[in-house]
């Protein structure tokens, strides 16, 4: 924590010198206050989105940075769509449903598998996976179905799963596992990371619960076993690491820790726990991952992104959106693995309270930053972003406080209406036509560490592993 910044804020507050705009805008003491705050946060987040404007592209936030079009890669648009699907589910506000539906359908690609050719340079397995998970969320939340002549939510999730489970995506290096990138020409193709494999694990677990098809469950088990056996999850304290290179047979473990890796594994494990009626080893895994998350990603109960906190500007725009996914996924864990409720919900409440306290920026006095535990607003421009991820984080944290009043994720047996297609994605190739050679500046998708960064920044990242 930047103690000097916090001390200055406290001193100014005590002296009455803080401007009126610095007073806390958002209130979350009651359900009505939560809904009203979420409504305003959702409105402000939509101001970052241009896809519903004439001449713009539905579904994506301004970007990608490699083309100097904005701060955001393709995948984060899919993550934002998922955030609004949850917002609607939790608050009942339908204001953005048509925008979300338009964006989700526009980005499916010609084979309805979330592999649009114009985003080849951003086509990581994790990028495709995020869009697939948002489609799965739409099915689980019973988000209004698309017209019958268009792709359906469940079928889209199945298409992503099928393309990622296809033998063409897997090889014998590191005894299996998905590579980070899909096209072999993309930078990072020689890296096998947790997030790409966690997305497939998560989709398998959720499709198994939704459809009761054991094939999906078998894949979830296979993915968990690979991630565990390759050492990406530390078995004693459940630290979740980032990945390794195929040239070293995945033995050059990069111990960078990111909250969304651990949260996604926890979320998928809860779905497997629910699918197996509470069977081991899923309960043990859930408990271990919760303890790991509390230790590594919550500072005094406040969401805390390990590589970014206290080092303003240290993380990419991608990483600055992770706190919102953590809040959304952990809140759902309490629904489908209820034994976690008393441990998780107070933590999410404490974190949300800290989140809204620092939303005091901008001309409106309600703009949100990233550094919740510092207690003061830090302008997103400090991190060289426009602030969409930061705003999305707080929207997710606030709306997730309503989880107790929301229906749990639906299945085909509990009222799910989305139509599936077990063969979805069968028309897909391994990926779009290869793009021109990627330059060292062309970093695709939900980039955590590019190969150049891994090669040149061992010292810069080593501080994260000192306690391991």
pLDDT given for residue 414 in this prediction: 97
- State mean pLDDT over 222-247: 98
Domain 24-52+174-411+440-462, what fold?
Answer: Glycosyltransferase (1.50.10)
Residues in Cβ contact with 351 at an 8 Å cutoff, skipping those fewer than 6 apart: 298, 301, 302, 303, 323, 327, 372, 397
> For residue 276, how many other CB atoms are within 10 A of its CB?
17
**pLDDT above 90 (res 328):** yes
Compare 280 and 461 and report the one with higher pLDDT: 280
Angstrom distance (rounded) from CA 294 to CA 109: 38
Band the pLDDT of 426: cuts 50, 70, 90: confident
- For 120-136, letters b (16+ CB in 10 Å) and e give bbbbbbbbbbbbbbbbb
* Backbone dihedral angles phi then psi of residue 377, each to the nearest 5 degrees: -70, 130
Residues near 407 by Cβ (< 8 Å), separated by ≥ 6?
A: 89
Helix residue spans in 309-410 (DSSP H): 322-336, 341-357, 388-399
Measured in whole angstroms, the distance separating CA 250 from the mean position of its chain's CA atoms is 24
Using CA atoms, how far apart are residues 43 and 37, in angstroms rounded to an integer? 10
Residue 428's pLDDT band, with cuts at 50, 70 and 90, is low
Does the structure show a pLDDT above 80 at 446? Answer: no
Beta-strand relationship, 302-303 and 298-299: antiparallel
Residue 1 has pLDDT above 90, yes or no: no
pLDDT at residue 437 above 80?
Answer: no
**How sure is the predictor about 122, in pLDDT bands with cuts at 50, 70 and 90?**
confident
pLDDT at 22: 63
Q: Are 340 and 347 in contact (CB under 8 A)?
A: no
- d(CA 234, CA 269) in angstroms, rounded, equals 16
Torsion angle of the four alpha carbons 286, 288, 293, 299, in this order, in degrees rounded to the nearest 10: 130
The pLDDT of residue 439 is above 70: no
User: In 3-state terms, what secondary structure has residue 91?
Assistant: helix
DSSP SS3 for 432:
coil
Q: Where are the domains of the chain?
A: 24-52+174-411+440-462
Per-residue model confidence as pLDDT tens digits over 22-78 = 679 999 999 999 999 999 999 999 999 999 999 999 999 999 999 999 999 999 999
pLDDT of residue 427: 74
To the nearest whole number, what is the mean pLDDT of the chain? 89
Task: Measure CA of the first residue to CA of the last residue in the chain; give whole Å.
Answer: 21
Residue (of 376, 369, 264) closest to 320 by Cα position: 369
| Model confidence pLDDT, tens digit, residues 281-325 | 999 999 999 999 999 999 999 999 999 998 999 999 999 999 999
């Amino acid at each position: 924590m930047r103690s000097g910044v916090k001390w200055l804020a406290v001193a100014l507050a005590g002296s009455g010198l803080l401007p009126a705009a610095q007073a806390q805008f958002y209130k979350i003491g009651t359900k009505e206050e939560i809904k009203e705050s979420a409504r305003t946060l959702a409105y402000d987040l939509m101001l970052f989105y241009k896809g519903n404007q004439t001449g713009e592209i539905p579904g994506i936030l301004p970007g990608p940075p490699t083309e100097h079009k904005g701060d955001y890669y393709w995948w984060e648009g899919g993550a934002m769509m998922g955030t609004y699907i949850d917002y609607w589910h939790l608050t009942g506000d339908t204001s953005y449903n048509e925008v979300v539906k338009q964006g989700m359908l526009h980005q499916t690609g010609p084979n309805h598998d979330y592999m649009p050719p114009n985003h080849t340079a951003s086509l990581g397995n994790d990028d495709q996976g995020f869009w697939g998970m948002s489609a799965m969320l739409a099915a689980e939340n019973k988000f209004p179905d698309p017209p019958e002549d268009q792709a359906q939510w469940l079928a889209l999730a199945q298409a992503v799963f099928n393309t990622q489970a296809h033998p063409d995506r897997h090889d014998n290096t590191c005894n299996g596992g998905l590579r980070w990138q899909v096209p072999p020409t993309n930078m990072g193709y020689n890296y096998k990371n947790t997030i790409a494999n966690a997305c497939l694990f998560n989709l398998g677990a959720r499709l198994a619960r939704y459809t009761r098809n054991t094939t999906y469950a078998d894949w979830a088990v296979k993915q968990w076993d690979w991630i565990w056996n390759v050492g990406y999850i530390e078995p004693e304290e459940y630290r979740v690491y980032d990945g390794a290179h195929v040239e070293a047979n995945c033995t050059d473990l990069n111990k960078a820790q990111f909250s969304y890796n651990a949260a996604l594994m926890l979320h998928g494990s809860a779905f497997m726990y629910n699918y197996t009626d509470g069977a081991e080893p899923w309960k043990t895994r859930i408990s271990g991952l919760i303890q790991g998350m509390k230790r590594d990603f919550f500072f005094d109960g406040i969401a805390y992104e390990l590589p970014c906190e206290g080092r303003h500007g240290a993380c990419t725009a991608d990483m600055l959106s992770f706190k919102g996914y953590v809040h959304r996924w952990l809140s759902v864990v309490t629904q489908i693995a209820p034994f976690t409720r008393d441990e998780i919900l107070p933590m999410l409440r404490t974190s949300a309270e800290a989140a809204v306290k620092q939303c005091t920026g901008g001309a409106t006095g309600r703009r949100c930053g990233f550094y919740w535990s510092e207690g003061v607003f830090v302008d997103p421009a400090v991190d060289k972003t426009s602030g969409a991820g930061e705003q999305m984080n707080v929207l997710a944290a606030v709306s997730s406080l309503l989880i107790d009043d929301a229906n749990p994720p639906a299945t085909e047996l509990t009222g799910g209406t989305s139509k599936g297609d077990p063969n979805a994605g069968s028309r897909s190739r391994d990926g779009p036509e290869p793009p021109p050679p990627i330059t060292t500046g062309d970093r695709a998708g939900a980039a955590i560490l590019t190969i150049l960064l891994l090669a040149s920044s061992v010292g810069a990242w080593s501080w994260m592993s000192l306690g391991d």
